[in-house]
């Protein structure tokens, strides 16, 4: 299931600067288990519903100590599963953990950035996507 949303993204160079070339994407596929609220630069809110499958990554932990009786682990991210193959004019929104596990290997996969919070400090959306 694809959620059709019109979006334009600036292509980023490795240095973090934009190339000036615009990538026009017409589909945003939400591969998280919950709706994603995106706020456009002009303040409009776009709600992208979950597509029905959730991208996940394997994780192993290594215990490295404890703090005040609580274990301290180092987490290692493994293989990403349930992420669709690249498709024309499509970007995928995933969790921060899945994004980290990909190590920038997919230009069509994004996480959320510039979070918007309500009066109680709860995240209600994002103003940007990140790779």
Give dist(CA 51, CA 28) in Å, integer: 10
Q: What is the pLDDT along the chain (131 residues), one digit of tens a residue?
A: 444 444 444 444 444 444 544 555 579 999 999 999 999 889 899 999 999 999 999 999 999 999 999 999 999 999 999 999 999 999 999 999 999 999 999 999 999 999 999 999 999 999 999 99
pLDDT at 23: 53
What is the tens place of the pLDDT at every residue in 23-56? 555 799 999 999 999 998 898 999 999 999 999 9
Q: For the chain, first and last CA: distance in Å?
A: 23
pTM score, whole prediction: 0.76
Cα–Cα nearest to 38, from 29, 30, 47: 47
Neighbouring C-beta atoms of residue 91, cutoff 10 Å: 22
Distance of CA 41 to the CA centre of its chain: 18
Neighbouring C-beta atoms of residue 108, cutoff 10 Å: 19
């Amino acid at each position: 299931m694809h959620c059709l949303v019109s979006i334009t993204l600036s292509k980023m160079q490795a240095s973090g600067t934009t190339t000036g070339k615009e990538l026009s994407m017409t589909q945003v596929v939400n591969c998280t288990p919950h709706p994603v609220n995106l706020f456009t630069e002009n303040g409009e809110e776009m709600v992208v519903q979950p597509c029905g499958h959730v991208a996940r990554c394997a994780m192993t932990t290594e215990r490295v100590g404890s703090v005040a009786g609580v274990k301290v682990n180092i987490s290692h991210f493994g293989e990403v599963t349930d992420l669709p193959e690249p498709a024309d004019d499509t970007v995928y929104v995933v969790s921060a953990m899945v994004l980290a596990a990909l190590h920038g290997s997919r230009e069509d996969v994004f996480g959320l950035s510039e979070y918007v919070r309500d009066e109680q400090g709860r995240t209600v959306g994002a103003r940007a996507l990140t790779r």
